[in-house]
C-alpha cells in the first residue's frame, strides 16, 4: 500500500521535567526522549506503552498544551511552534479524560465546546450527538451520565471542529466490554466512513490489533517498535507447530527454510518460530511431504502482547515482586 502524506509528525521530540523533590537520583526526568512518530493520513494509529512511558506527555505536546524541551511537532505540514491555532484547526482531541460541567446537560456542554471551536450550527450539534448515539440523552445532566456516555460525549466534542485528525488519550479507559466495543466501532466508522485519521493511546493490545493499521510501542520516552501492523506481524508473529519427531522437524525447517524453531517440551511438545516471510501453509506442506505428521499449526494468539511484555518494563513490577516474595 503506498504511503500517503504524513498528517502528524514528531521529530526529535523531547520533554524533560524538572523534579520538584530531589530525594534520590537526578534532578530531571526525561519523559519523552527524542521521539520520532509518523501518522499518515487515513491511519488509525495505536500508541501503546506501559504506565509512565510518556504517551500523555507526547499527546500534550502534540496539542500545544505543553512546550517541548526539544524537537518539533508538525500537523499537516504546519509546525506547532509557528502557532497552534492554525496547526490545530482541524484537530479534535482529549487528554486523559474529557472534562465537562456535570450540572449542565450534554447538549449545553457541547454548545460551550462549540463556542470554543468557533461556533457550530444546531444541526451540526445534533449530528455530533447522533453520531455518538447520545441524541436521546442529550438533555440529561452530564452528572447522571455513565462513564461510557461521558467518553462518547467527549468524542462528540472532538467532532465539532470538523476535524481531519482525532487525537484521543485512552478513549476506552475504564469502559465495560460493551462500552469498549461501542467506542471502537465508532472510531472505526469515523475512520472508514468519514475519512478521519485517528491517533489513540491505549493499554488494550487486542484493541490496537483489531482497530489500528499502524502502531507504536513506547517505553521510557522512546519508541521500541513502530510500523504497519501487518508488516510487524509478518516480522514478529510466531507459528506454533505440533508435529511428530519435533526435534527432527526443527532441524528440517532450519535446513529447508532457514527458520529458527525453538522446541518447547511439555505435555504437548511444540515448535515455535517466526515465519520470516514464509507462509504457514507452505511450512505445513513441506513438513507433511517430508513425512512429519502435523497435528496442529497455530499462529501465536497474542504476539503483540508478547513483544510488549518482552521489551517494555513495568514501573510497578518491583512492587509486585516484593509482594509475591
Please say which residue, 15 or 184, places its beta carbon nearer to ligand ATP: 15
The least CB distance from residue 39 to ligand ATP, in Å, is 17
The least CB distance from residue 134 to ligand ATP, in Å, is 26
3-state DSSP assignment of residue 195: coil
Pick the piece of the chain touching Mg ion (CB under 5 A) from 54-62, 76-84, 147-155, 202-210.
54-62
**Rounded distance, CA 57 to CA 14, Å?**
10
Provide the edge-to-edge strand list for the sheet that holds 238-243. 262-264, 270-274, 238-243, 294-299
The least CB distance from residue 237 to ligand ATP, in Å, is 25
Work out which of 24, 26, 51, 267 binds ligand ATP, going by CB under 6 A: 51
Count the site residues for ligand ATP by CB under 6 A: 11
53 is a contact residue toward ligand ATP (CB under 6 A): yes
179 is a contact residue toward ligand ATP (CB under 6 A): no
Beta strands 44-48 and 197-202 are: parallel
Would you call 282 exposed, middle or buried from its count of C-beta atoms within 10 A (0-12, 13-18, 19+)? exposed
31 is a contact residue toward ligand ATP (CB under 6 A): yes
Residue 174 φ then ψ, to 5°: 75, 5
214 is a contact residue toward ligand ATP (CB under 6 A): no
Please say which residue, 120 or 216, places its beta carbon nearer to ligand ATP: 216
All 3 cell numbers of residue 239? 507459528
Orientation of helix 177-192 relative to helix 147-159, angle to 10°: 10
The least CB distance from residue 44 to ligand ATP, in Å, is 19
Instruction: Name the percent of the chain in helix, strand, coil, to the closest 5.
Output: 40, 25, 35
The least CB distance from residue 317 to Mg ion, in Å, is 18
57 is a contact residue toward Mg ion (CB under 5 A): no
Work out which of 10, 14, 38, 56 binds Mg ion, going by CB under 5 A: 56
Q: What is the 3-state secondary structure (H, E, C) of 85-132?
A: HHHCCCEEEECCCCCCCCCCEHHHHHHHHHHHCCCCCHHHHHHHHHHC
17 is a contact residue toward ligand ATP (CB under 6 A): yes
49 is a contact residue toward ligand ATP (CB under 6 A): yes
Please say which residue, 13 or 138, places its beta carbon nearer to ligand ATP: 13
Half-sphere exposure for 312 (CA within 13 Å, toward CB): 27
Beta strands 44-48 and 214-219 are: parallel
Pick the piece of the chain touching ligand ATP (CB under 6 A) from 49-57, 248-256, 260-268, 287-295.
49-57
Give the Å distances, CA to CA, from 236 to 1, 190, 256: 20, 29, 20
Pick the piece of the chain touching Mg ion (CB under 5 A) from 10-18, 34-42, 53-61, 115-123.
53-61
Please say which residue, 56 or 151, places its beta carbon nearer to ligand ATP: 56
Work out which of 38, 56, 105, 223 binds ligand ATP, going by CB under 6 A: 56
Could you tell me which residues come within 8 angstroms of residue 285 by beta carbon, excluding any fewer than 6 positions away? Answer: none
172 is a contact residue toward Mg ion (CB under 5 A): no
Chain residues binding ligand ATP by CB under 6 A are: 17, 29, 31, 49, 51-57
Chain residues binding Mg ion by CB under 5 A are: 55-56
Amino acid at each position: 500500500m503506498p504511503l500517503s502524506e504524513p498528517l502528524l509528525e514528531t521529530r526529535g521530540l523531547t520533554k524533560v521535567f524538572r523534579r520538584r523533590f530531589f530525594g534520590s537520583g537526578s534532578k530531571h526526568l526525561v519523559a519523552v526522549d527524542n521521539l520520532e512518530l509518523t501518522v499518515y493520513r487515513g491511519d488509525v494509529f495505536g500508541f501503546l506503552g506501559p504506565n509512565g512511558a510518556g504517551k500523555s506527555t507526547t499527546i500534550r505536546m502534540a496539542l500545544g498544551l505543553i512546550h517541548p524541551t526539544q524537537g518539533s511537532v508538525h500537523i499537516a505540514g504546519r509546525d506547532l511552534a509557528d502557532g497552534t491555532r492554525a496547526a490545530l484547526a482541524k484537530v479534535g482531541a482529549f487528554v486523559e479524560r474529557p472534562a465537562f460541567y456535570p450540572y449542565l446537560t450534554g447538549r449545553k456542554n457541547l454548545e460551550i465546546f462549540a463556542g470554543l471551536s468557533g461556533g457550530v450550527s444546531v444541526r451540526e450539534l445534533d449530528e455530533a450527538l447522533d453520531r455518538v448515539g447520545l441524541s436521546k440523552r442529550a438533555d440529561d445532566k452530564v452528572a447522571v451520565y455513565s462513564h461510557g456516555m461521558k467518553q462518547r460525549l467527549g468524542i462528540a466534542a472532538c467532532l465539532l471542529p470538523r476535524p481531519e485528525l482525532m487525537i484521543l488519550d485512552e478513549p476506552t479507559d475504564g469502559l465495560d466490554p460493551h462500552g469498549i466495543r461501542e467506542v471502537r466501532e465508532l472510531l472505526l466508522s469515523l475512520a472508514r466512513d468519514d475519512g478521519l485519521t485517528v491517533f489513540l493511546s491505549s493499554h488494550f493490545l487486542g484493541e490496537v490489533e483489531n482497530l489500528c493499521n499502524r502502531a507504536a510501542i513506547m517505553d521510557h520516552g522512546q519508541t521500541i517498535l513502530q510500523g504497519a501492523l501487518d508488516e510487524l506481524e509478518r516480522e514478529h508473529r510466531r507459528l506454533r507447530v505440533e508435529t511428530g519427531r519435533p526435534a527432527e522437524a526443527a532441524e528440517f525447517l532450519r535446513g529447508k527454510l532457514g527458520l529458527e524453531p525453538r522446541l518447547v517440551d511439555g505435555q504437548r511438545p511444540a515448535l515455535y518460530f517466526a515465519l520470516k516471510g514464509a507462509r504457514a501453509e507452505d511450512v505445513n506442506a513441506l513438513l507433511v511431504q517430508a513425512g512429519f505428521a502435523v497435528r496442529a499449526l497455530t499462529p501465536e494468539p497474542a504476539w503483540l502482547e508478547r513483544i510488549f511484555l518482552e521489551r517494555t518494563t513495568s514501573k510497578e513490577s518491583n512492587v509486585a515482586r516484593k509482594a509475591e516474595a
